[in-house]
A and B are shown apart, each in its own frame.
Chain A
Amino acid sequence: MSATTAPPVPVTQGRTVERGPSGGVLNRRRGKVATIIMLVLAIVWLFPLLWALYNSFRSYSYTQTNGYLSFGGWTTENYSNAWSRGNFGLHLKNSLLITIPAVVITLFLSSLVAFVLARFSYRFNLTLLGVFLAANLLPPQALLIPVFRMFREIPLPTFMSESGTMLNSFWALILVNTAFQMGFCTFVLSNYMKTLPYEIYESAEMDGAGIWRQYWQLTMPLVRPALAALATLQVTWVYNEFFWATVLISRGNKLPVTSALNNLRGQFFADTNLVAAGSIIVALPVLIVFFVLQKQFVSGLTLGSTKG
């Protein structure tokens, strides 16, 4: 959305994630045609990344003399070059320091709300859900001015922020990301929690377990699959977040890696192979997350759609 967040998809026709194809088998001839079209399209779709990967290993001088439609000129220099010139070590560390706390806090706070929404049926339940969900969908640019101005006024001790204010601090980004992502997580988690049998809470009450224990020791372990899926999704979203980091952080050395791309473009402009290497470096963390936790990722996106 800003292309980084996605609203949940509230569709409730049955459980979906684990099911295989539902459209049945295509007849033979159609099946062949479809397979070929899909194969071609899939290759077209992969091409930009493969092209980046390919050129990231080729030297500038070779591609300059032989053109880009050539084969050869292998080198790994682009990577070391991009790494040092783009200061990726620092920016990746910044991204890590923002993403991990933001995801942990988001999941914690939204699980609290989700628990209350699922466990009790208060009259304000829907309103509360609306407050969180709508926040998830508002264009962040619409809130920029007050948030920006407010953060400039909020002092932080220097051990928390070198600039002395919320602006230019990781705290600002952690809080903003949390506030914006809670809607999606609350929605998904509360739907998931609603599928838990209500009897477990009744027997917990009998045993004298308080609300906190019902939340922490009973519910949380049971919603671990949903938490895992959401964590995967949130890590990629917060890592990919561009807008808030761009406007709230003006000190180059504080930028997370996605927003740092903005400055790098000027520096790398003259050498596309360097751009390629830089792109691969930035893409690598999310690609690893994606390939290792692909199932989590996909089920996370469609979790909102299934109620369980």
Chain B
Amino acid sequence: MATRTAGKPSTRRVEKRRSTRERLIIATMIGIPTLLVVWLVWLPAIASFLLSFTRWNGFKLSSIEWVGVQNYKDITTIYPPFWPAIQHNVIWLVFLFVFPTILGMLLAVVLDHEMWGSRFYQTAFYLPVVLSMALVGFIWQLFYSTDQGLINEVFGSKVDWYGDPSVNLWAVLVATAWRHTGYIMLIYLAGLKGIDASLREAAAVDGASEVKTFFHVIFPVMRPINLIVLVIVVIESLRAFDLVWIINKGRNGLELISALVSQNVIGEATRYGFGSALAVIMMIISSVFITIYLRIVFREERR
């Protein structure tokens, strides 16, 4: 960053004598990517918002009918999968926090020490991170299958882990945790390595124990990482989709908001207005956390 601040005055000086041609090149350099992202992300976001106040079967544009907040009313009152979906998304979030996130952090703290085979352990933990969630669901079929799954074979049970609505959410969460833990570990490992060694040494000189050092010195310093992890976990649990879609398209115990939106577009019924209202609910929740995220990023940028 030092070089950048030092360079600033000269930036201005150079700026003034830039030719029209150069300016055009710069405009194109940012223009094309910006157009793409506006076209495929921001305009659709606005369109989702507007459509959420309408009823539309997706055919002619002229068949769009303004219905005000009716869709939102219907979603919260007479749409049976909505509240289960919200509940599942919340369970998803809490579960990710309680198990994989804390485990990932602990793994990072331990593996940050010099240790026999540390490299190997790290590789083992983040190996699942390179696999897609859909594939994770596929692989865990080997454990969860009713008559050919390892779990039922070992325990002599007859549970349909992916199908039974009383257990399938938990089965899916365990599979998710398998992938999520390594990712969190990686983020914390990077963060821990960035912590000034002198901080630890000072704490050690003061006679603080490892545990104390962690809670009173390391953890507070990692505040930005903790916030980022918070945002990541929230967004992950909101976006969760692949695994439940591949199992049963998000029905029967596996309702999630993301799946409900998709069901209203590519399912049997095309209810665009209604689906958009669900989409907007997702957008509103995520935008809170995106804002937090951007604030952290920009604070870092300004430094």
Residues of chain A having any CB pair with chain B under 8 Å: 1-4, 6-17, 19-26, 30-31, 34-35, 37-39, 41-43, 45-46, 48-49, 51-52, 55, 63, 67-69, 109-110, 112-113, 115-116, 120-121, 126, 128-135, 137-150, 175-176, 178-180, 182-183, 186-187, 194-199, 201-202, 205, 210-212, 215, 236, 239-243, 246-247, 250, 258-259, 261-262, 264-265, 271-272, 275-276, 278-279, 282-283, 286-287, 289-290, 294, 297-298, 301-302, 305-307
Smallest beta-carbon distance A281→chain B, Å: 10
Choose among A37, A180, A275 the residue with the greatest number of B CB atoms under 10 Å from its CB.
A275
Smallest beta-carbon distance B117→chain A, Å: 7
Cα-based distance from A179 to B272 in the complex (angstroms): 23
Smallest beta-carbon distance B168→chain A, Å: 14
The reply to whether A265 and B141 form a contact with Cβ atoms under 8 Å apart is: yes
Cα-based distance from A194 to B135 in the complex (angstroms): 38
Cα-based distance from A14 to B10 in the complex (angstroms): 26
Smallest beta-carbon distance B18→chain A, Å: 8
Smallest beta-carbon distance B10→chain A, Å: 6
Tell whether B298 is near chain A: CB-to-CB under 8 Å.
yes
Residues of B within 8 Å of A264, CB to CB, are: 138
Cα-based distance from A80 to B299 in the complex (angstroms): 54
Smallest beta-carbon distance A304→chain B, Å: 9
- The one of B32, B113, B235 in contact with A26, judged by C-beta atoms closer than 8 angstroms, is B113
Cα-based distance from A265 to B141 in the complex (angstroms): 9
Tell whether B33 is near chain A: CB-to-CB under 8 Å.
yes
- The one of B43, B115, B190 in contact with A21, judged by C-beta atoms closer than 8 angstroms, is B115
In residues 171-204 of chain B, which contact A (Cβ within 8 Å)? 176, 178-183, 186-187, 189-197, 200
Q: Looking across the interface, which residue of chain A has its beta carbon closest to that of B264?
A: A145
- The one of B133, B196, B275 in contact with A4, judged by C-beta atoms closer than 8 angstroms, is B133
Q: Looking across the interface, which residue of chain B has its beta carbon closest to that of A287?
A: B130
- The one of A20, A180, A195, A275 in contact with B138, judged by C-beta atoms closer than 8 angstroms, is A275
Choose among B15, B276, B279 the residue with the greatest number of A CB atoms under 10 Å from its CB.
B279
Tell whether B286 is near chain A: CB-to-CB under 8 Å.
yes
Q: Given that A11-B225, A142-B282 are contacting pairs, would A38 and B246 also be in contact in the complex, using a CB cutoff of 8 Å? A: no
Residues of chain B having any CB pair with chain A under 8 Å: 1, 3-4, 6-8, 10-11, 14-15, 18, 21-22, 25-26, 29-30, 32-34, 36-45, 47-48, 51, 58, 107, 109-118, 120-121, 123-128, 130-143, 145, 148-150, 153-154, 176, 178-183, 186-187, 189-197, 200, 210, 221, 224-225, 228, 231-232, 235-236, 238-243, 245-247, 257-258, 261-262, 265-266, 272, 275-276, 279-280, 282-283, 286-287, 289-290, 293-294, 296-298, 300-301, 303
Residues of B within 8 Å of A149, CB to CB, are: 58, 272
The reply to whether A112 and B29 form a contact with Cβ atoms under 8 Å apart is: yes
The reply to whether B194 and A13 form a contact with Cβ atoms under 8 Å apart is: yes
Cα-based distance from A278 to B137 in the complex (angstroms): 12
The reply to whether B195 and A22 form a contact with Cβ atoms under 8 Å apart is: yes
The reply to whether B190 and A11 form a contact with Cβ atoms under 8 Å apart is: yes
Smallest beta-carbon distance A146→chain B, Å: 4
